[in-house]
Structure formats: C-alpha cells, structure tokens
Structure 1
Amino acid sequence: MSSDDAATGDVAVPDHYSRAQRRIILAAFEQFAQHGVSATSLQMIADVIGVTKAAVYHQFKSKDDIVLAVAETEMARLEAAITLADAQRDSVRAREVLLTRVIDVAVQRRRLYSVMQSDPYMARFLAEHEPFRRLMERLFAILAGEDLDSDMRVQAAMLYSAIGSAASHPLVVDLDDEALRIHLTQFARTLFQLPH
C-alpha cells in the first residue's frame, strides 16, 4: 500500500495505474463518497489534488474512465471475497465467508458502498459494465446456492442491497463499526438460516 492509499483508508488501487492516475482515483473516491458520483465534477477532483482539470484529462479521457477505475478498485475487493468463498468445501461455509467479507467491506466503507449501490450515475454505469454483471452472477450463485429458485434469488438480492443500504443509513450512523458488523451479520445469518 502506498502513502496515497494510507491517506484514503484502505483503498488499494490496482498496480496497472500510474502514480498520477492513482492520485486521481483516490481523490475521486473521496469526492464520490462525499458528494455522489453524479454531483462530482472533474474540477472537484482536480481541486482535491491541486492540479488543473486539463491535468486530470491528460490521465483519463472522461469521467466515465475515472468511474470505471473506481469501480474496478472496489470490484477487486469483491472479487477477492468471492474467490475466497469459492475455495470453501461446502456451500454453507462459502456463504458464511462471502457474507462476512461483504459485511466487512460495507461497514469499513459505509459512504462509498452506498454510492456504489444507489447513485444513479454509478448504477447505470455498473448495469452496463459486463465484468460487474459477471461478478454479481458469481456472488448471487454463492448466496443462492445450486438451487437458484426465485425465493433464494430474491433473498440474495435483498440481502446484498440491504447490507449496503443499512451500513450507511442515517438510523445507524451513530453505531460504531463493530456493533454494526454484529447486527448485519445476525440479520444475514437469520435470512440464510446459517448457524449463529
């Protein structure tokens, strides 16, 4: 993790981005979490890192390219959780591992997780992004198991949406991370009839 990563929490930008691009991605994380994707301009991102908007354009051709870089960074975290869950011996343990990791990410990154799920710009972008759709299919296959009946698919979709929404909801803003993690885990285990 670079010093840029440390300054923005535990954001781990993929190595294939240059140092200048990494600074822009980290600034975008900050602005997206604070203002939402739709309300964040390239000028706002440039102001955070003290460069001109032209300098941002030199690194990324469009706002969509920055959104893609932010989404790719977050998708890497989710992919790591799915890969770990896939390595488990049985489906129950795979669900437990995946739910634990998804809840950890949602709690650690409350504001950004909410943006990733609910911001109209990001929602439209991700809906059209094939790698994200494939990742969601893998996630839901683990949560719903081999038996992809409509009840399990609805439960999986509700749970995934509920985790992100609940983690950033105003009613729980006063809960510390550990308390929130415990409550979300109990809810998820009950929904999927996993042992407590």
Structure 2
Amino acid sequence: MISAEPPADGPSVLPVHSPAKARIVSAAADLFAEHGVGGTSLQMIAAAIGVTKAAVYHQFKTKDEIVVAAVEEELARLTGAMDEAEAEAGASAELVREALLARIVELALDRRRMEFALVGDPVIGRYFAGHEPFRRVVERLYRLLTGEAGPEARMRAAMLTAAIGGAAMHPLVAELDTETVRAQLLDLGRRFLDLPG
C-alpha cells in the first residue's frame, strides 16, 4: 500500500532518470498496467528487467517511490498533450478539445495498456486524490475537454478518458489494427464531446 507523500510539485516536464532508474520505472509501469499497483511486487519488477530485488532497492528505496515516478511520467505526458493542444488550437475551445482528443487517443494507442490503466488504478487514485498538483492536472484536463466546470463536466470527461483508455486496451479490439482503433476512438470521442465529425 502506498504510504509516502506524493511529490510537492506538479509534473511539467518529463522526469529525467538515470538509465537504471528509467528501466525500473518502465518495467514497473508495464506491470502496474497489467496487474495493478497492489498486484505488482518489487520481485516482479526486478525479474522483468533481469536484476535482483537488491538492485531495484539500490535505485529506489520503496515501491512507493517507483509508483510516484511512474505516475509523474504519465502525468507529464498528459500535461504535454494539453500544452500542445492549447498551443496548436489557440483561443478556440472547440479546436482545443479536438486537438486534445487526438492527443489523448494517441497516448492511449502509444501506451496501449499503460496510460489510463496506470492513472486510473484505484490505489493510485486514492493516493493522489488529495494531492493538489495531481488534482490541477486532472481538473485542467476535464476543463479543456468539456469547456465547463462542475460535477457534470467532471463526469463527462472522466467517462470519456476511461472509455478511451479502456477501449484501447480491451481484448475485443486487440486484433484490430491501430488505424482502425484510432479512427473509431476519434469518431466516438467527437460524438461524446459534440464536436463536428
């Protein structure tokens, strides 16, 4: 169970790790996506990269530190996607939503199992629920996607991002080519957000 304090600053750029730490975080994130945080042990992480558990401990003192590092990377990618969407679209809220939807779909496809599974893990959700920088990233995402604030906007954005992440990694679409999945996710996302097709 996660017990360490979350990081004080919100993710604005992708964290820089040594090659050894980066390998651990990458392997851990894959395992978290497959087994959840609670179902992933340090031994599993060590085995995935072919090192001893002691070698993992040499880089990270606790599993909590690995979880935080993995979440920071995913949130930094999400923050980057929002920054890019706003820079590309300018002042038009509709164009920002369209650009952000495309980037969220790309993140989901690129990381197929990891992106939304990691951020949506219930252990991580409880851990970061009261963490202000995490909440700011999520609130910004919801505001950009819906153009609104409040409970209904949060639910709409939460349902959309969960649907994109869930659909991208669902067994029923595992055999579909990436282009088909991308086209379907964009089409359904546009309809959900009432964007022109």
TM-score (norm 1): 0.83
1:159 positional shift: 0.9
Which position in structure 1 is the counterpart of 2:66? 66
Question: Structure 2: which 5+ residue stretches go unaligned?
Answer: 1-12
Of structures 1 and 2, the one scoring higher in RCO (CA 8 A, sep 6+) is 2
Instruction: State how far apart, in whole Å, the 2-side matches of 1:136 and 1:100 are.
Output: 17
Matched-pair contact (CA < 8 Å) for 1:117–1:161: no
RMSD of aligned alpha carbons? 2.1
1:150 positional shift: 4.8
Which position in structure 1 is the counterpart of 2:9? none
Which position in structure 1 is the counterpart of 2:94? 92
Matched-pair contact (CA < 8 Å) for 2:117–2:165: no
1:119 positional shift: 3.0
Which position in structure 2 is the counterpart of 1:102? 104
Instruction: State how far apart, in whole Å, the 2-side matches of 1:95 and 1:177 are.
Output: 22
Which position in structure 1 is the counterpart of 2:171? 170
**Percent same amino acid at aligned positions?**
50
Instruction: State how far apart, in whole Å, the 1-side matches of 2:24 and 2:154 are.
Output: 37
2:115 matches 1:119 = no
Question: Structure 1: which 5+ residue stretches go unaligned?
Answer: 1-11
1:182 positional shift: 0.5
Matched-pair contact (CA < 8 Å) for 2:14–2:77: no
Q: Deviations over 1:133-190 (max 9, x none)?
A: 1100111111121x43654443222111211111112222221111111111001111
Q: How many residue pairs get matched? A: 183
Instruction: State how far apart, in whole Å, the 2-side matches of 1:186 and 1:91 are.
Output: 18
Instruction: State how far apart, in whole Å, the 2-side matches of 1:114 and 1:170 are.
Output: 15
Matched-pair contact (CA < 8 Å) for 2:43–2:53: yes
Match of 2:133, as an amino acid? P
Runs of 4+ with deviation above 4 angstroms: none
Instruction: State how far apart, in whole Å, the 1-side matches of 2:49 and 2:14 are.
Output: 16
Q: CA, structure 1 residues 168+126, in 2 after alignment: closer, same or farther (shift >3 Å)?
A: farther
TM-score (norm 2): 0.83
